[in-house]
A and B are shown apart, each in its own frame.
Chain A
């Protein structure tokens, strides 16, 4: 009897904190959804603090991994050597073609006064840690905000894009891999034969080795081997970063990535900032009201803006042409600017 009463008392006492802790855990999930920044800061502090240890631990582990993989490769080294020689010969031919095409593109760009590609600053970083967890695939780099690495920047290795920075501390940063469940990248799909038009799509990671392609159009035909590159939509990533090739997987299309995050040692973080578009300066004669034959508007400080009901006939407002004006309507401002922008280009081409 005393035993039973002890048990009951102990259990009833233990229930209360459990309920509170359970409620706290639920609150934590909701709080994390609303304000994940708190957790991110804690993570970065811990990672920054652990960076020297990680660097020293990473070297022997990497050596072990290399040893394991080299033991596998011993059995296929001869066949692989033959394949590589063959591939190398073909790549040399393609390199020549690429150099010729690059010259031609540069020539055309000069002729058309095309807007040059924005400069991309890159930071070379070393991988000091990787983790493949059920809901997160990530790697840790030894470069952080002290070397101007910022969240959102693309991470590439010599073969192609690996992922994006999603957290950056002082000396370390976390990369969200393209294969991760949370990864979404706007991409362009160019057909391998170059005969069909390019397609826009979203590449979605699902924690498998090959991310899914979600095309924006309803009916599209994708072919295995089509090239997938970053589209640059949204201005976060530079356009044209090599990502992979299309692979058919039943009804869905997936991307076989060029880069292998498991073996990448040194990577580049691309600091891409889309330059602000500078509009050409407009002269008063180019304003829509003037182009429509109306008198130019005076300086806004000296002229009070009349109320619509009491506006004198013929008085011009800065933004809207008068509906009673007998002249033809002025072209929209955008059209004017386009025409202005096109003029020097056309002149240059002659």
Chain B
């Protein structure tokens, strides 16, 4: 009986660990899209939802699937108020690139890791920019999207620290037998 309970508990814990990356992504999207601006709107909100996508796509792609990236992108689209599908497409395109170049990205450490994330975010922003340009059929200004890229990269350092801790303490131990 005790063994059964223990097994149930373990299954629940594994499920929690499996859902944690997606939950982090969704939470990041909600946080970054709260319609509250500090500094009078001078600084755009970072793409917090993309940090878990990037991190877990490199570390545990089985927990951050393309469908998860798609779902996080959809929430980003719904909450950001922009044209539908733009961020979804951008997240999925970036996911595809990261997945194809996974060995190159995963091997980076320190400042190079931040540079790697900056490259991935640049792909997201570039895709969003060009899709928006095609969507409205006129060139969008470059300044805001470059600012978005810069602020997202800036937030990657504390974001990766938090996500790394979560991964080490929860996701890693609970899913170690996979």
Contact = CB atoms under 8 A, between A and B. Distances in A.
Interface of A: 14, 17-18, 20-22, 24-26, 28-33, 36, 38-39, 42-43, 46, 54, 57-58, 61, 64-65, 68-69, 128-140, 174, 181-182, 206-208, 262-263
B20 interface: no
Contacts of B144: 132-135, 207
Contacts of A42: 78
A181 B70 contact: no
B172 interface: no
Contacts of B77: 28, 32, 39
18 contacts: A17-B66, A18-B92, A21-B92, A22-B66, A22-B93, A28-B84, A30-B85, A33-B83, A33-B135, A36-B83, A39-B84, A46-B78, A54-B35, A131-B35, A131-B41, A131-B80, A137-B41, A207-B141
The 8 A-B residue pairs whose C-beta atoms are closest, nearest first, are: A32-B84, A129-B35, A29-B85, A132-B41, A28-B85, A134-B144, A21-B66, A25-B89
A57 B34 contact: yes
A181 B92 CA distance: 25
Contacts of A46: 78-79
Nearest to B77: A39
B142 to A, nearest CB: 9
A199 B131 CA distance: 35
B61 A14 contact: yes
B140 A134 contact: yes
Given A28-B74, A57-B34, A181-B136, A130 B65 contact: no
A321 to B, nearest CB: 48
Interface residues of B, number: 51
B89 A18 contact: no
A31 B77 CA distance: 13
Contacts of A20: 66
B3 interface: no
A14 B99 contact: yes
Contacts of B95: 18
Given A28-B74, A182-B136, A138 B81 contact: yes
A135 B83 contact: yes
A139 B80 CA distance: 12
Contact of B89 (A26, A138, A140, A262): A26
